Amino acid sequence: MTFKTISVIGLGYVGLPTAAIFASKGHKVIGVDNNEAIVKIINEGKIHIVEPDLDNLVKSAVRNDKLSATSKPEAADAFIIAVPTPFTRNQKPDLSYLMAAVKSVKAVLKKGDLIVIESTVPVGTSQSVSELLSNQCPDLRFPHQSKTPDIYIAHSPERVLPGKILAELIKNDRVIGDISNICSEKARELYSLLDIKGQCVLTNAATAELVKLSENAFRDVNIAFANELSIVCEKLGINPWETIKLANHHPRVSILQPGPGVGGHCIAIDPWFIIDSSPKTTELMRTARKVNDAMPDYLAKKIISKLSNKSIPIIACLGLSYKADIDDMRQSPAVEVVRILAQSLDTNKKAKILAVEPNIKVLPPELQHIHNLTLTSLEEALTEANIIVLLVDHELFKEIQQNRLRKKQTYDARGIWQFGDLN
C-alpha cells in the first residue's frame, strides 16, 4: 500500500475528525498539534471540541492503536495539513501557522511523500508552499520544478460543515488541485482510502484555491442579503422569516436566514482572501462583509433603545457560539452582541446580563472580567430575566415552553420561536 502511515497536522475542528476517520478505516494515523494539552487529551482517547459522534470515534481509534498524537511531526507517507489560516487586523491572510506547519514537516520528508493542504488559502499558496520547501530541501524535486517530483503537493480544501463533519467528510465532493497533474492523482488515491461517497474532481491548484474561497464568499453575500432584507422588513413592519420562507417557494430563489451576524473562522474570513487578491474589483463582497459585521451592533442597539425605564434590565442572552449546537465561539456575533449590551449597561449598577451557553464551562476571553455579566444555566436565566434575547438556535432553546417567555420582552434573532419576535 502506498500510504502506510498518514499524518494529520493540526488537530482542530477539521484535522481531528479527519485523523479519526482515517484511523477508523484501519489506517495508522499520527496526529500532530503544537498544543501539548490537546496532544495529551487525544492520547487519553478524549476530545477537546464539541462535534457529534467524534468522541466515540477518537476513543476507539486510540484504543485500537490506530491514532496517536504528538507535538512534533514524525515520518509518514502522507501529510494532511489542516491548521488555521486566520486574517490579520487589517484583513490580510495570515499564513504563519500554515508556513510553520510546512517547515515542521521538512525534517521528516522523504522521496515519494504526499503533502495535502486542506487549510483554506489565498490563490497562489500551493505554489508558495512548493517553493518554500524546495528552498529548505534542495536535494528533493518539487512540483513547481518537475512533472515527476520527489514530493507531491496538492490542495484539497476542506468543505465540511461544523456540526455535521463526520457525515460530510464521507458524503461531500472534493476538489483537488495541484501544480502538476500527478499530485492530485496521488491525493485522490489517499482520499479513496476513506471510501468517500462524493466525487473527487481534479483541477489546477489556483482554481481549487479560488473555488473554496468562492463557496464561502457566496454564502456570505447571500446571508448579507437576508440580513439587509430583515432590516427592510422591520422598517416596513413585515415578518422577515415569513417573507423569506414564501420567497423561497419560487423554484429559483433560495435566500438564506437572517441572524445576529456571521461568525466562525470561515465565512467571516475567507471573502477577505478574495478581496485582498483583487481589492478594486470586489465591492459586492466587501459590502456583504460590512453588512454582516454590522449586525451585532444593530441588534444590541435595538434592544437598548427599547429598554423601559420602569424596570431594571436583567437580560438573558441565549447562546454564545457562532452557530447552533457547537462550542466554537470564534468571531461569534452572539459574543459581540453580549459584549455591546454589557458595555452599554455598564453605568446602570443594577442591570445584569445572564449569558447561557450549554456547550462551555467558562466565558470566552472577550467576556471575562465584565462585572455585570455572568454565565448561568438556562433555568436560572429564564427565571430571573425580564428580557430574553435568543442569539443561537441551539436545540436546547427550541424546547423552551412559550409560557416561560410570557410577560417578558423577547428578541428572537434566529426566528425559532414561531415567526420572529414574540412581541
- Distance (Å, whole) CA 411 – CA 86: 32
Our CA angle for 305, 308, 313, nearest 5°, is: 95
3-state secondary structure of 315: strand
Active site residue 266: yes
121: nearest Cα among 13, 212, 221: 212
Rounded to a whole number of angstroms, the minimum distance from the CB of residue 288 to ligand SAJ is 12
Strand-pairing partners, residue 117, are 81, 155
- Phi/psi-derived region of residue 123, left when phi > 0, alpha when psi is between -120 and 50, beta in every other case: beta
DSSP letters spanning 392-413: S--HHHHT--GGGTTTSEEEET
216 binding ligand SAJ? (CB under 6 A):
yes
144, 159, 188, 352: which one contacts ligand SAJ (CB under 6 A)?
159
Kindly state whether residue 158 participates in binding ligand SAJ, applying the rule CB under 6 A: yes
Instruction: Kindly state the cell numbers that stand for 252.
Output: 429559483
The total of other beta-carbon atoms located within 10 Å of residue 382's CB is 19
Q: Is 408 a catalytic residue?
A: no
Q: How far out from the chain centre does Cα 187 lie?
A: 24
137 contacts ligand SAJ (rule: CB under 6 A): no
Query: Does residue 120 interact with ligand SAJ by CB under 6 A?
Result: yes
Rounded Cα distance between 181 and 191, Å, is 16
Q: How many residues bind ligand SAJ (CB under 6 A)?
A: 20
Q: Which of 84, 93, 143, 263 binds ligand SAJ (CB under 6 A)?
A: 263
Burial degree of 185 (CB within 10 A; 0-12, 13-18, 19+): middle
Q: Is 416 in the site for ligand SAJ (CB under 6 A)?
A: no
Give the binding range for ligand SAJ (CB under 6 A) out of 21-29, 79-87, 254-262, 401-409. 254-262
Residue 167 DSSP SS3? helix
Task: Report 266-295 residues binding ligand SAJ (CB under 6 A).
Answer: 266-267
CB atoms within 10 A of CB 377: 11
Please choose, out of 137-145, 257-265, 310-318, 349-357, the segment that lies near ligand SAJ by the rule CB under 6 A.
257-265
Nearer to ligand SAJ, 76 or 205 (CB): 205
Residues in region 321-350 near ligand SAJ by CB under 6 A:
322-323
Ramachandran area for residue 154 (φ above 0: left; ψ -120 to 50: alpha; else beta): beta
Judged by CB under 6 A, which of 196, 256, 304, 400 binds ligand SAJ? 256
**Catalytic annotation, pick one of 200, 233, 266, 317:** 266
Residue from 60, 136, 203, 257 in contact with ligand SAJ (CB under 6 A): 257
Nearer to ligand SAJ, 267 or 351 (CB): 267
Q: For 242, phi and psi rounded to 5 degrees?
A: -70, -40
Residue 215 binds ligand SAJ, judged by CB under 6 A: yes
In the block, cell 484511523 appears at 23
Site string for ligand SAJ, 73-112 (x = CB under 6 A): ----------------------------------------
Q: Which is nearer to ligand SAJ, 219 or 245 (CB)?
A: 219
Q: Which of 66, 186, 212, 352 is catalytic?
A: 212
Task: Give the residue, chosen from 81, 82, 176, 223, that forms a contact with ligand SAJ under the rule CB under 6 A.
Answer: 223
Long-range contacts, stretch 15-19, CB < 8 angstroms, 24+ apart:
15/80, 15/82, 15/83, 15/118, 16/42, 16/47, 16/49, 16/51, 16/54, 16/58, 17/51, 17/54, 17/57, 17/160, 17/165, 17/166, 17/169, 18/80, 18/82, 18/118, 18/158, 18/169, 19/61, 19/67
Considering the rule CB under 6 A, would residue 221 count as an interface residue with ligand SAJ? no
162 or 177: CB nearest ligand SAJ: 162
Task: Find the shortest distance in angstroms from Cβ 342 to ligand SAJ.
Answer: 20
Task: Work out how close the CB of 422 gets to ligand SAJ at its nearest, in angstroms, rounded to a whole number.
Answer: 20
Of 256 and 396, which has the nearer Cβ to ligand SAJ?
256
Instruction: Work out how close the CB of 161 gets to ligand SAJ at its nearest, in angstroms, rounded to a whole number.
Output: 4
Other CB atoms within 10 Å distance of the CB of residue 395: 10
Catalytic amino acids?
A: 212, 266
Report the interface residues with ligand SAJ, using CB under 6 A: 120, 158-162, 215-216, 219, 223, 256-257, 259, 262-264, 266-267, 322-323
